[in-house]
Chains A and B, each alone.
Chain A
Amino acid sequence: MTAHTAHGHGPAKIIRSRPTTAARPNVLGGAAAFVWLLIVSVPLYWILITSLRTQQGFFGESPLAFPTDPTLDNYRTVLANDFGRYLSNSFIVTISAVVLVVASGYLCAYTVARSPNKKTRTMFNVMLLGLAIPLQATIIPIYLMIVKAGLYDNLLAIILPSVAFALPITVLILVNFLRDIPVQLYEAMRIDGASEWEVMVKLAIPLSRPAIVTVAIYSGLNIWNGFLFPLVLTQSPETRVLPLALTSYQGMFTINVPAIIAAVVLSSLPVIALYILGRRQLLAGMTAGFGK
């Protein structure tokens, strides 16, 4: 605590990202943290060890004991059953949607933050309103529109509406971040003769990289895990993405529970890897986006 008193007399709003350590230890918080750790880790542990069990082991061994005969066969079974195709479908959908979300969302947020006027304010308000639209409520009209547009059972059918529903939070986070860039920086560059476009590309985009990474990770996570759009808008194994593939594995393997669970683990590995790489960034960006 004494370590921070040096900053104590500064203006309050500069002080961000401070630990809230108080005089006495946070006993209640610590206890809650421990209990929640158990609640989170026991199912995760069960998932991990079950994916390594043999089928006999699953029926015979104690469910929380480490498998006596751990095996990777379940992973082999899943990989041999079109996992690669579903994985690549998920990658195609997620990457194209994220590119569209970030590009269009950035342009929108940039003009809202830099040109505050009636038009941009309306745009921002429409986006904020979008936060309250339950995605589920739009699924029947979207189904109708996708069928009429001849896009049913095409990966574009997942990509396009996913972009729309990722935009509100993307714009909100980016606007909150872009507003913190001092106006003087933009003006100085403009006075030096840079075009609006150059200002954005050379100044704003590099400065807002942390926020861009955040919205890319966050929207990517949601799109990767999306279930309803693929469920309603695609049908064939050729367009199946991972969350749907999991339910089809469930039907295919029925009593081979370890194989189903191995599919769950495999489908989660890419996002867990991404999270470990971008964790700090995500935390910082979300904080800025949702504010205090």
Chain B
Amino acid sequence: MTTTRTRGAGATSFGPSALLGIPAMAFFAVFAILPLGVALYLSFTQWSGLGSPEWVGLENWRTLLTDSSTAHSLMLTIQLMVLTWLVQTPISLLLGVFLAGRQRYREILAVVYFVPLLLSSASIAIAYRNLLDPNFGVFSGGGLGWLNQNWLGDPSLTFYVVAFIIAWQFVPFHTLLYQGGARQIPQTLYEAAAIDGAGRARQFRSITLPQLRYTIVTSSTLILVGALTYFDVIFILTQGGPGDATRILPLDMYLTGFVANKMGLASAIAVVLVVLGMVLSLTISKASGFSKMESQLDGEA
């Protein structure tokens, strides 16, 4: 485990000064930590984005707690979190383990698989908006008519379309994680299992899955916390609509602040987002022993 290695490194009399970390910490403090405090402060004010914020006490928080639209956005966010996890995890796991093989054709496949990861959310949203157009989109001709729905205009469908597009965009990333993880599983384990007569399914369940547990935790954390940050795709694709069918929390915050000009109320939503993000990642890391994140590289292979 790295603890020993860390102690070993500490035993040396040499080492750079912690001052080297200051530039990074300064960037981080000013643009990531300080804003959290400012958001908390702004959540007790009324501010249109122009002029100066005006202290109003708990008013925004009262609005937030009694306003059913925020509750709706929160529910949607949680649903999206669960749905994207359920869709992305099995697919990336299967694909990652499959791609961990080294055959030539998999290399070529891997290039195609990872293209969505390279495209900007803006590109993806704009492409899908037109691709799913009921009149001229990909399903409007060529025998695919049975798939031709009003994907982005039907409130009961759009939420699932959004989850699909998010999966389309991010499965490559999680596949990459699982592929890396699967490549580090010692081959000897499989050989021993094969000698003991374990079949592929059994090997997957008894070797691959347990060996990949850190990867599963990393990937799941990123998916769950990531659901609090999906903004670009939904903003361009649906603006939260139709109605408020895709108005998840980050989008609700943006629309409340920068469109409805209620920066104070939007800041309260921002605080909720931060708290949710922190609680989620702390819970996951506690539940999984993942807080020892730095020791995983030497994990007990």
Question: 8 additional contacts, CB 8 Å, given A120-B21, A260-B126, A292-B184?
Answer: A36-B113, A36-B171, A42-B138, A113-B9, A127-B24, A244-B122, A271-B118, A279-B114
Within 8 A of B (CB), among A233-266: 242-244, 246-247, 250, 257, 260-261, 264
Within 8 A of B (CB), among A109-163: 110-117, 119-120, 123-124, 126-145, 160-161, 163
**Most chain B CB inside 10 Å of its own CB: which residue of A39, A134, A142, A221:** A134
B190 touches A221 (CB 8 A): no
A41 touches B281 (CB 8 A): no
Once bound together, how far apart are the Cα atoms of A65 and B263, in whole Å?
48
Once bound together, how far apart are the Cα atoms of A272 and B273, in whole Å?
33
Question: Can you identify 13 A-B contacts, CB atoms within 8 angstroms?
Answer: A13-B301, A26-B101, A37-B113, A64-B142, A110-B16, A115-B16, A126-B33, A127-B24, A134-B229, A145-B35, A232-B258, A272-B115, A292-B296
Select B123's contact among A15, A59, A160, A243, beta carbons within 8 Å. Answer: A243
Select B121's contact among A42, A65, A225, beta carbons within 8 Å. Answer: A225
Q: Write the nearest CB–CB distance from A89 to chain B, whole angstroms.
A: 14
Chain A: interface residue count, which band?
35 or more
Select A63's contact among B30, B136, B212, B274, beta carbons within 8 Å. Answer: B136
Select B23's contact among A28, A63, A108, beta carbons within 8 Å. Answer: A108
Residue of A nearest to B183 (CB): A17
**Chain B window 243-257, contacts with chain A (Cβ cutoff 8 Å), 1 for yes, 0 for no:** 000000010011001
Pick from B55-63, B152-160, B173-181 the stretch touching chain A: B173-181
Contact of A140 with B122 at beta-carbon distance under 8 Å, contacts A62-B142, A114-B16, A176-B294 already known: no
A165 touches B231 (CB 8 A): no
B263 touches A22 (CB 8 A): no
Residue of A nearest to B102 (CB): A19
B236 beta carbon closer than 8 Å to chain A: yes
Contacts of B258 in A (CB 8 A): 232
Once bound together, how far apart are the Cα atoms of A108 and B301, in whole Å?
29
Once bound together, how far apart are the Cα atoms of A290 and B173, in whole Å?
12
A187 touches B12 (CB 8 A): yes
B5 touches A179 (CB 8 A): yes
Contact of A63 with B140 at beta-carbon distance under 8 Å, contacts A18-B183, A138-B35 already known: yes
